[in-house]
Amino acid sequence: MWAFLSSQPVQTALIVGTCAALVSALIGVFTVLRGNAFAGHALADVSSAGGAASFLLGISPLLGFLGMAWIAAFGMEFLGVRKARERDLATGVVLGAGLGLSALFLYLDVTTTSTTGATVSVMFGSLFAISRGLIWPAILAVLAVFALVGGFYRPLILTAVDPDLATLRGVSPRWMGLLQLLVLGLAVAVCALAIGAVLATALLIGPAGAAIRLSRRPLQAIVWAMLMALAAVWMGIWMAYESYYWFSGNAWPVSFFVVALIFLFYLLAMLGSAQQRKFRYRAATALPGIQES
């Protein structure tokens, strides 16, 4: 255990992974409540183009992911993500264009800068290979997200749960939508850095989707989501570290363990809540007069 904690790549991985887990669980609950899981996934996928471009331009990958995620967010807003019927299509088209760009940048990465590992590290992440210089930017991004969400907590929740009621109360859905996309972009960038652009969706919607099943109160759901995300990231890092010894020198990727654990938690939460509902239903039918709440 001591060897695990004293290794420097592990420390960096733990810090960045914790940042990603906290921020994605917080934003994930809003995203899932709004039914925006596809848009969140598309933002993460498109941000891979930014990650690929950062190798070409020689800038920090976090900036690359963030820039492209924001561009995609504005693109979707522009193409009409607000109308529910058109939302799916506009998201799909932006996603297609973004993936095309990503293909081009990755190709140029390989041919011009001879960084052959770019495809893997951008798409699937390599938590143990993150440079220490990225710790502070990641922490800053997390603080910014927490400050923004903390400041606008009530209007954000209201818009996510019931947009019409929010408009009646004088909350501008436009501004809240924009704020949500900006914050989502920040969260996606940190997640993409940690477990890879195409896998970032796991952290974003998995714990949140499970947490919403476990609790009906938004604040409780956020806490549940954070606990699950942290457990998945920490256990994933530990298992990937140990897998070097389990499989005689062939370590399995961290991102695989994190994604598999999140999927497991989601399944458990689903089965657990279904069981609970059946139990309540049986109690309600056995004792007439007691209604299911």
Per-residue burial over 36-49, b if 16 or more Cβ lie within 10 Å, else e, is: bbbbbbbbbbbbbb
The residue within the footprint of other proteins, chosen from 93, 135, 139, 223 (CB under 8 A), is 93
The residue within the footprint of other proteins, chosen from 19, 20, 95, 188 (CB under 8 A), is 95
Min separation Cβ 96 and other proteins, Å: 4
Is 148 one of the binding residues for other proteins (CB under 8 A)?
no
Min separation Cβ 289 and other proteins, Å: 31
Count the Cβ atoms, other than its own, within 10 Å of residue 239: 18
Min separation Cβ 12 and other proteins, Å: 20
Residues 171-200 that bind other proteins (CB under 8 A): 196, 198-199
In the complex with other proteins, which residue's Cβ is closer, 15 or 260?
Answer: 260
Is 83 one of the binding residues for other proteins (CB under 8 A)?
no
Angle at which helices 153-161 and 173-195 pack, to 10 degrees? 100
Is 74 one of the binding residues for other proteins (CB under 8 A)?
no
The residue within the footprint of other proteins, chosen from 30, 70, 224, 266 (CB under 8 A), is 266
Is 24 one of the binding residues for other proteins (CB under 8 A)?
no
Is 94 one of the binding residues for other proteins (CB under 8 A)?
yes
CB 21 within 8 A of CB 226: yes
Give the H/E segment covering residue 10: helix 8-33
The residue within the footprint of other proteins, chosen from 12, 159, 180, 255 (CB under 8 A), is 255
In the complex with other proteins, which residue's Cβ is closer, 177 or 253?
Answer: 253
Nearest Cα neighbor of 146 from 16, 40, 234, 22 is 22
What is the spatial distance between Cα 148 and Cα 180, in angstroms, rounded to a whole number?
Answer: 9
Task: Quote the tokens at residue 281.
Answer: 């239903």
* Angle (CA) 63 65 67, round 5°: 65
CB 30 within 8 A of CB 160: yes
What is the spatial distance between Cα 181 and Cα 165, in angstroms, rounded to a whole number?
Answer: 20
**Binding positions for other proteins, rule: CB under 8 A:** 32, 35, 37-38, 40-41, 79, 85, 88-89, 91-101, 103-104, 106-107, 110, 116-120, 123-124, 196, 198-199, 201-202, 205-206, 208-209, 213, 250, 252-253, 255-256, 258-260, 262-263, 266, 270, 274
